[in-house]
Structure 1
Amino acid sequence: MRTRSRAACIATAAALSQGPAWSQSAAPVDPTPTLRTVTVNASADASAQGLSPEYPGGQVARGGRAGILGTRDPLASPFSITSYTNQLIQDRQARGVGEVLQNDPGVRVARGFGNFQESYFIRGFILNSDDVAYNGLFSLLPRQYIATELFERVEVLRGASAFLTGANPGGGGLGGAVNLLPKRAPADPLTRVTVGAASGGQGQVAADIARRFGPDGATGIRVNAAYRDGGTAVDEERARLGVVAVGLDWRSRDVRLSGDIGHQDHRLRRTRPNVSIAPGVASVPAPPDASSNFAQPWSYSNERDVFGTLRGEWDLTPAITAWAAYGLRRSEEANSLANLTVDNLGGTGAARTSRFDNAREDDVDTGELGLRGKFRTGSVGHEWVVAASAFSLDSRNAFAFDLFPLRTSLYAPTAHPQPPLGATTFFGGTLGSPLRTTRTRLQSFALGDTLSMMDDRLLLTLGVRHQRLDLGSYDYTTGTQLSRYEAQRNSPAAGIVWKASPELSVYANYVEGLTQGESAPASAAGVPVVNAGESLPPYVSKQKEVGVKVQRGTLGGSLALFSTTRPRAYVNAASVFTAGGEDRHDGLEFNVFGEAVRGVKLLGGATWLSAKQRDTGSAATDGRRVIGVPRFQASVGAEWEVRAVEGLALDARVVHTGASYADAANTLRVPGWTRLDLGARYLMEVGGRLVSLRARIDNVGDRNHWASSGGFPGAGYLVVGAPRTFSLSASVDF
C-alpha cells in the first residue's frame, strides 16, 4: 500500500504482519561478552532461509520451495515455481486451495471420480488433493477439501518432480506439485477476527491470533480457527466446516524448530454430483442451469481429519545444516452418493442414478532426513544436498452399491426416497468396520548438487533420487492380500540457469516423474485378459523444458516451452495387457505478476497445450486429444487502487478454458467457457483499529457451463460450474 495516508499506512502494517517480519533490535551493545543476537524471521518451515519476501503488489512471493533443494529465488532456479501469498488469499476471499489455484493459468480445478474431492489439472496431468504437500510432506492435509485458514502460501511447482519431491503417493503429480506452507507468528502481535456471508445463506466466522515470547521473541504461537455453515448458491445444497490449527516455532542461534497440529470437520449435504455420459450417447448435453440441483435429497459426504507436523534444522557448522521432518494424518470419511449418468438425451436429459455408500479410514505417517551444505572447488561453488524419505499409508475401505437404478433427469430431476441396503445391494466389506484394502510404502534416497560458475552467473543443478515402491491391495471382505507391487527406479534431473543480467535469466531442465504401473483388468471388450491382475513396471514420465524469467522493477514474468511424455497401457490383439504408447503434452506457458504502473497490479497469464494420445493400439484413439485437456486456457487478473477514494481497491479476473473432450475417441466435445469475477476491498480505521471490508461476485454473468471434464485417468465425467456467487466479509485487527 502507498504511504500517502494514515489508513494506507495501517494497511501496509497489516500486510507486513502476514509476511516476513523481524523482532526489534537488541539493546545497546554491552562490553561484556554475550551470545550473538538471534534475529527472528516468521519462517513457515523452520528453515534458515525463512519465508520468501513478497514481490511488489504482494500477490506472489519472490521465491518458492524446490523440494529438497530448499527455497530458491526464481531467477536462480531451473524450475517454474509460483508462490501465492496470504494477502492474495484474503483479498480474493478464497476459501479452499482450488479457489486460490483459479489464479494460475496453468492449473484447472476438477473433481475426483465419484466423490467431491478436488483434483487439479497441471499442464494437463492430474494431481489429486490428497497428494498436496504440507510443509514439504505429502498427504498430510484433509483428503478432499483443504480450507485456506490452514496455510500461509500456496506454492505451485510446474512439471515433473521425482528428484525434487519423490514419487507422489497417489500416483499423480506428473505435471506438477502443490505445496502449502503453514502460518507462523509474525514479530508483532496479531489478533484478527473475520465475519462473512455468501450466497445461499452461508455464514462464516474466523479468528487468527499470534504472539511471540521469550528473549528476542524466539518462541511463537499462532492459532487459527474458523466455522462456516449454511446453504450455497446451488439450490438446496449445504456445507458446514469447522477447522482449528495451531502452529508453533522456536529458534536459537543454531537450531530452528516448528510444529503444527490441526483438525478439520467438513460436512456436505445434497451437494451436486458429477455427471457421466452413458455408452452410446452421441453428444455432450447442454449444461443445466447453474443454480439447479439434481442431487438426491439424502446424499451426503462427511470427512474428519486430525493432522500434524514437526520440523527441525540444526546448523552443524557454518556451512552444513541438518534437517528432519515428520508428519501424520488420521482421517475418517463416510458418504452416501448418487452420481448421475445421462443415458438418453433426446433433448430431455433423461438419466439414471443409484445409491453408493462408502466408508474410509486413513493412517498416514511420513518423514524426511537430510543434510545441506556449501563448499568451493577453486572458482566453482557447490550447494549440495543429501536426503532420505519414507512414506506409509494404510487405507481401510468398505462400500455398498445398490444395483437398482433410479430414473431422473439432468434438467427436471426426480427426488427419490433413499433406497434401503438389501437384496439389490452389492457389498464390499462392512461399512461400520472397514478392513485394510490398500497399503502404500515408499522409500527414497536423493543426492544433488548445484554448481555455480562464472561469478555465479551460470548455475548447473544435477541430481538423482533412488525410489522404492511397495504397494499392496487387499480383499474388502476378508482382508487377505490380493496383490503386491514392488519396484525400484532411479530418477535423474538436470537443470541449467544463465543469469544474463540481475533482472533476466534463461533456463532449461530435464526431469523425470515416477508413478506405479497400472494393473491389468480382468477383461476388455468382454474378452478375458490373459495377464489379469498383473502390475506393469513403474511409469516414467520425461520432461524437457526451456524458458526465460524476467523481474524488472515492480513487474515480473516468465515464458516456458515444455514437453512431457507419460507411458500408456492397453490390451493388445493377443488379449495381453501391456505397456505401449504414451500421452505427450507439449505446451507454452506465459505468466505475469507485480505492479504494471503505480496502483495497478497484474496477475495471470495463458497456457497453450497440445495433449495427444500416441501409439495407443487403437485407430479410434491414436492421435486424439487427452480427456479433459483444452488447447488454450487463461487466467488474467488486475487490481486497481482507486487514488480518488482513500483505501479503496477494485479487482477483476477473467478465467477462460477452451473446449475439451469427455472421451478418448474425441466424439464427445465439451464446449469451452469464460467467466468474469469482480471484487472490491475497502480499508479504514475505526476507533484506532484496522477494518477490512471485502465484497466479491464470482461468475458475474451467471454463465451455465461444464467447469471440467475428467479428473480420473480414462474417465470423462462432467462437473457443472458454480452459478453467480456473492460473498462479503469484514475483518478487524485488534
Structure 2
Amino acid sequence: MYPREHASQLRNGFRQGRVASFPSRTMTVNRTTALPARRRRTKVGLGVGLGITLFAAQAAAAPGDAPAPDAGAAGSATLPAITVSGERGSTLRAREASVAGLDDAPLRDTPASVNVITRALIDDQQAKRLSDVVRNDASVVNDYAPVGYFEGFAIRGFPVDLASAIRIDGLTVSGEQNVPLENKERVEILKGLAGIDSGVVAPGGVINFVTKRSANVASVTGGVDSRGSTSAAVDLGRRFGPDNQFGFRINAAKENMHSYIDGTNGRRTFGSIAADWDISPRASLQLNAEFQQWIQRSAPGYQLLGGTVVPSVKTTSKALGTQPWAKPVTTDALNLNARFDYQFNDDWKAYLAAGRSRTMIDDNSAFAYGCSYAASCTAGATSPFFFGANGDYDVYDFRSPGEYRRNDDLRAVATGKFATGPLRHELTLGVSVQRRVVHMADAVYDYVGSENVYGPDVTFSPSPNSPGPSYPRLDAWQYGVFGLDRISIGEHWQVLAGGKEVLLRQRSWSSLDGDTTRTDRSVFLPQVALVYKPVNVLSLYASYSKALSLGDQAPVRATNAYAFLPPVESHQFEVGAKYDWLDRLSLTAAVFSISKPFQFADPDPSGTSYTFVQRGTQRHQGIELGAAGRLTGRLGLTASVAAIRARAVDSGSPTYEGHQIINVPALRASLYADYAVPGVAGLNVLGGVEYSAARNANEEGTARVPSWFVFNLGARYTTKIGGHRTVLRVSVDNLFNKFYWRDAGEQQGDAYLFPGAPRTARVSLTYDF
C-alpha cells in the first residue's frame, strides 16, 4: 500500500438473469399446436417460457409462412387467440435491488437512496474499473484513487469503508482490490445508512456487485483503446439437466493496460465461475468463485506546493518519482461465496449465505511525498508534509510485500408475510458473523533523493534495506442480530421499523512496539421509516438510521501515532420521493442530513506537531435528484445531481470550520443518453457529460481545485454476422481533452491531487456464438 496509507488500513474492522428487451408491438396468436405432457418447475416458469417462445416464433415468421395446423394430430389442443402487448424495456433502468437489506425489493418501495448501474450501461460505456461505473452517480467521487492501485471512493462526502462497504452478492469483500466487472450483472449503490444488514460501516454508504447467473449465453469481446491497451473476454453459460435444474456461467478476461501516465503500464488476468442448482421446486443453491491478478506500476499523487498552492501542471503523462528499479504493485484477489435458498411456503422463505474474500498485495513504489530533505525545504520555510513552494519533493523507496487481508462473512436470513387484523406484515429476521484479518510486514520506507514537479526525472539508488517479516495487525469480529418489519396500513401507508444489535470485538497490533489494542463495543442500531403511496406509481418516505464505524487511526507523524480512536456513531435523517412516469422513466429525489464525530489533526500551540483527536461534529446535508429510463421510444437516459454542504462544527479549531470539507464538491452532476437513430436499424448514438464544482484541496480550505466539465461521446451498432448477434461499440471519453483534477482526496492526514485521464478512444466488438 502507499506508505502514508500503511497505518490507515489497519484501522478497518469490520439472483438474477439477463432480461430480454423487445420492441413495442402487439401480436395475435391463433394456431393449433401439440402440447406434450411435461412437468414444469413452476407455473411462473411455464408462463414466461411460453410467452417468450410464442413471441419469438411470431417475430421470426412472416405472415403465411407457418404450415397449416394438423387438426387431427393426437394429443393436440386448440389454443384461443392470445394478444401479447409489450413495451420496449429500458436497459438503463433497474426495478429492484438487494443492497438495502430488503432482498430484491422494488426500488420504488425502498425508503432509501439506491442507484443501480445496469449491465447494458457498463457495456456501452466500456467500463473497466469501478471508477468508470460510479461516474454515473453524482453522489460518488474518487477519494484517493491512484492509477495502478486499488481505488478509494466517497459517497455523500464520506470515505467508503474498504473493510466492510464493498460487497459481492451482499457479502463483504476485501475492498483493497479493483473488483472485476466482466462477470457482474449490475452494480448497486446504497447512499447513506439505510441498510439493516450493514453492521459496522462508515456513514457514506455501500457498493454491491451482483454476479451474473447461469443462462444459455456464449460471447467473446475484444477491445482496444487509443493508447494501445488491448483486452479480450469470454462469457459462456448453459442451463442443462432433465428440467434445466443445473447451470453455470464462466467469465474470463485478459487485459494489457497502457496507461496515460508514463511508466505505469500493466496487465490483468481474470477468471470466474458461477454455478446454480435448482435442487427442488423449493430449494436452490448458488456457488460463485472469481480470481484476478493485477500487476501495474502505480503513480503517486501531487501535493500542494508549500501547502497552499495547486501545482500549475497541465500534463497528465508525468509520473512523479519514477525509478527504473521500482517494481509494479501485484494484487492477487480471490472472492468466494455461496447461497442456499429455501421456500417453506408461499409466505415464508429463508437463505443461508457465506463468503470469503482474500487479497494479497506486494506493494512497491518510488513514492513522491513531502519535502524534508530537498535543499529548498531544509530551512523550514515549507511544511515537510507538502511539496516545496518551488515544486521540490522527496522520493522514497517503499516496499511492503505480502500485505494480506481477508474478509469472512456468514449470514442467515428469513423473510415472511402475515397479517394481524387489518395490518399486513413483511418481516425480515437475520443473524450475521463477520471477520476481518490483516497481516503486514514492517515496510521499507527510506528516502533516496529529491526531484521537482517541473524538472526532468532523476535516477537514484534504491535503499539497501529489506522489509521485515509479516505478522498480524488486525483481527476484528462482528456479531449481529437484525430484524425489520414492513407494516402496510391500508393501501397507502407503510411503516418500516427494526434495527440491528451489533457486538464488535477487535484486536490490533502496533508496528512500532507490538502493543495490543482491544475494542469491545455493543450497540443497537435502529432504523425506522414511514412510506406514503398516494398512487401506485409514487412513493414518499421519511427515515432515520443509526450506524457504528471504527475510529480512524492516528497518522505516523501525530504525537499519538498509530493509536486507534474509539468507534463512532453516525446518524442520518432522510426524506425522499420516487415516481415512475408512464412505467418507463424512474424519477427520484432525496434530502438528507448525516452527522458523525469530527476526527482531525489538532495542532499544538507551537504549530510543529499535532495530536489526532475526535472533537466536534462533521455534518453533511444535501439533496440528490435522479432519473433513469426512457423519455421516448428512441431516447433513453440516466441522470444524477447531488448538492452537498459538508461542514465541521464545534471542533474547537476554527481553522477547520466555516468551509466545505476537503474533496467534497458543493455540486456535482452526471448525464448519459442513448438515442436510437431513425432509418438505421441497430445504430445508437451515445453520449454524456460530467460536472464537478470546485473542491477544497486541504483541510483548512485555503486551496481549491477548479470546477470542470468533461464530455463523452460514443456509438453502438448491433447487427448480425453469419446469423449471430454482433455489437460494435465506439466511445471517446474526455472528448475535448480537458485537463482537470479528478481527485483531491485525503489519506491519513495528507492531501493528494490526481489529474483526470486525457482524451481516450475505445473500440470493442462483441460476437455471440
**C-alpha deviations, 1:218-237, integer Å up to 9, x for none?**
21100000000142233333
Q: 1:62 maps to which residue?
A: 95
Matched, 1:561 2:594: no
Aligned-partner SS, 1:446: strand
Q: 2:396 maps to which residue?
A: 354
Residue pair 1:162, 1:514 contacting (<8 A) in 2 also? no
Residue in structure 2 matching 1:319, options 347, 354, 360: 347
Q: Report deviation, 1:417.
A: 4.2
Matched, 1:622 2:651: no
**C-alpha deviations, 1:41-73, integer Å up to 9, x for none?**
99xxxxxxxxxx999421231111143321111
**C-alpha deviations, 1:446-479, integer Å up to 9, x for none?**
1110001112x2111111101111121124488x
Q: CA, structure 1 residues 281+521, in 2 after alignment: closer, same or farther (shift >3 Å)?
A: closer
Q: Report deviation, 1:37.
A: 5.8
Residue pair 2:666, 2:695 contacting (<8 A) in 1 also? yes
Q: Report deviation, 1:711.
A: 4.8
Residue pair 2:589, 2:625 contacting (<8 A) in 1 also? yes
Q: CA, structure 1 residues 520+268, in 2 after alignment: closer, same or farther (shift >3 Å)?
A: closer
**C-alpha deviations, 1:527-582, integer Å up to 9, x for none?**
x56xx876554211111111111111222211111111121246598998764211
Residue in structure 1 matching 2:484, options 448, 451, 472: 448
Q: 2:381 maps to which residue?
A: none
Matched, 1:213 2:250: no
Residue pair 2:448, 2:461 contacting (<8 A) in 1 also? no
Residue in structure 1 matching 2:251, options 221, 224, 242: 224
Q: Report deviation, 1:283.
A: 1.3
Q: 2:504 maps to which residue?
A: 469
Matched, 1:302 2:330: yes
Residue in structure 1 matching 2:730, options 695, 717, 726: 695
Q: 1:148 maps to which residue?
A: 181
Q: 1:540 maps to which residue?
A: 569
Q: 1:406 maps to which residue?
A: 449
- For 1:274, give the aligned amino acid: G
Once superposed, what is the RMSD of the aligned Cα atoms?
A: 3.0
Residue pair 2:416, 2:427 contacting (<8 A) in 1 also? yes
Residue in structure 1 matching 2:317, options 285, 291, 310: 291
Q: CA, structure 1 residues 206+534, in 2 after alignment: closer, same or farther (shift >3 Å)?
A: closer
- Provide structure 1 residue ranges, at least 5 long, that are not aligned to the other structure: 1-12, 19-25, 43-52
Matched, 1:507 2:534: no
Q: Report deviation, 1:184.
A: 0.6
Give the distance between the partners of 2:697 and 2:395, measured in 1 at CA: 19
Give the distance between the partners of 1:351 and 1:573, measured in 2 at CA: 25
Residue pair 1:199, 1:231 contacting (<8 A) in 2 also? no
**C-alpha deviations, 1:351-405, integer Å up to 9, x for none?**
2221111120123221101211111011110011111111112211124334324
Give the distance between the partners of 2:417 and 2:628, measured in 1 at CA: 32
Aligned-partner SS, 2:654: coil
Bigger-Rg structure (1/2): 2
Aligned-partner SS, 1:235: coil
| Identity fraction in percent | 27
Give the distance between the partners of 1:403 and 1:247, measured in 2 at CA: 45
Give the distance between the partners of 1:134 and 1:388, measured in 2 at CA: 18
Residue pair 2:100, 2:195 contacting (<8 A) in 1 also? no
- Provide structure 2 residue ranges, at least 5 long, that are not aligned to the other structure: 1-16, 23-32, 49-85, 377-386
Q: 2:131 maps to which residue?
A: 98
Q: Report deviation, 1:522.
A: 8.5
Residue in structure 2 matching 1:363, options 391, 395, 406: 406
Q: 1:733 maps to which residue?
A: 768
Q: CA, structure 1 residues 412+643, in 2 after alignment: closer, same or farther (shift >3 Å)?
A: farther
Q: 1:120 maps to which residue?
A: 153
Give the distance between the partners of 2:509 and 2:526, measured in 1 at CA: 33
Q: 2:308 maps to which residue?
A: 282
Q: Report deviation, 1:15.
A: 6.6
**C-alpha deviations, 1:282-339, integer Å up to 9, x for none?**
3111244123333514242110122210101112233221211111123211021133
Q: 2:361 maps to which residue?
A: 333
Q: 1:16 maps to which residue?
A: 20
Q: CA, structure 1 residues 148+370, in 2 after alignment: closer, same or farther (shift >3 Å)?
A: same
Residue in structure 2 matching 1:81, options 109, 114, 120: 114
Q: 1:46 maps to which residue?
A: none
Residue pair 1:102, 1:109 contacting (<8 A) in 2 also? no
Q: CA, structure 1 residues 642+487, in 2 after alignment: closer, same or farther (shift >3 Å)?
A: same
**C-alpha deviations, 1:11-61, integer Å up to 9, x for none?**
xx997299xxxxxxx99475x99986683999xxxxxxxxxx999421231
- For 1:184, give the aligned amino acid: R
Residue pair 1:233, 1:291 contacting (<8 A) in 2 also? yes
TM-score (norm. length: structure 2): 0.83
Q: 1:435 maps to which residue?
A: 471
Q: 1:272 maps to which residue?
A: 299
Give the distance between the partners of 1:198 and 1:149, measured in 2 at CA: 17
Aligned-partner SS, 1:318: coil
Matched, 1:634 2:669: yes
Residue pair 1:592, 1:605 contacting (<8 A) in 2 also? yes
Give the distance between the partners of 2:458 and 2:236, measured in 1 at CA: 45
Give the distance between the partners of 1:556 and 1:304, measured in 2 at CA: 39
Which stretch shifts more, 194-203 or 60-69?
60-69
**C-alpha deviations, 1:252-308, integer Å up to 9, x for none?**
211121010111000003x32222336x43311124412333351424211012221
Q: 2:74 maps to which residue?
A: none
Residue pair 2:146, 2:754 contacting (<8 A) in 1 also? no
Give the distance between the partners of 1:27 and 1:221, measured in 2 at CA: 31
- For 1:358, give the aligned amino acid: S
Which stretch shifts more, 712-721 or 310-319?
712-721
Give the distance between the partners of 1:27 and 1:273, measured in 2 at CA: 68
Q: CA, structure 1 residues 292+494, in 2 after alignment: closer, same or farther (shift >3 Å)?
A: same
Q: Report deviation, 1:656.
A: 0.9
Q: 1:39 maps to which residue?
A: 45
Which stretch shifts more, 309-318 or 284-293?
284-293
Give the distance between the partners of 2:395 and 2:257, measured in 1 at CA: 26
Residue pair 1:661, 1:667 contacting (<8 A) in 2 also? yes
Q: 1:681 maps to which residue?
A: 716
Give the distance between the partners of 2:43 and 2:221, measured in 1 at CA: 36
Residue pair 1:355, 1:401 contacting (<8 A) in 2 also? yes
Corresponding residue pairs, total: 681
- For 2:360, give the aligned amino acid: E
Q: 1:71 maps to which residue?
A: 104
